[in-house]
Amino acid sequence: MASPSSKLPEKHAYRIGEVARLLDEPTHVVRFWEQSFTGIRPNKSPSGQRIYSRRDVERLLTVRHLVRERGFTLEGARRELEAQRHGEVSETPPAAAPEVEVAARVEGLREGLLRARAVLARAILTLDSREALVWPPEGDDAEPQR
């Protein structure tokens, strides 16, 4: 992985919106990760806006890499960060399907659903045409045939 700081602008403080853009994540995800991982503690501006240090942003970039690119759960990412802090190497990568495989599975499911929708649409047309032939029933006491 390229150094997390390689994509950061040269500055010491970052507002939450800027951090969200750098991470390509919504601000609520940034706030959630801030609460989920120790060591990410932004200061607050006088107006109450979160101000992240360069070190905070670097940690968030590492969290994003572990969770989004390597497929770690949040708990797994916490353990990995702890191991990295102690100079240990991760022995086992997480058991997660690569994005390409997931995308292919989703596309397969989508195609199956589209085929099912077409079958159901034809069935509805068939039922509608048959119903028109026998409906409405003659007489008030007539019940639909089963």
Q: Is the pLDDT reported for residue 96 higher than 60?
A: no
Question: For domain 4-85, is the CATH number 1.10.1660.10?
Answer: yes
Residue 4: which of 69, 79, 48 has the closest Cα? Answer: 69
pLDDT at 117: 93
Digit-coded pLDDT (tens) for 16-34 = 999 999 999 999 999 999 9
pLDDT at 127: 82
pLDDT, mean over the chain: 81
pLDDT at 73: 87
Q: Is the pLDDT reported for residue 109 higher than 70?
A: yes
Q: Is 33 helix (H, G, I), strand (E, B) or coil?
A: helix
Task: Based on DSSP, count helices (H) and strands (E) in the chain, helices before strands.
Answer: 5, 3
pTM beyond cutoff 0.85: no
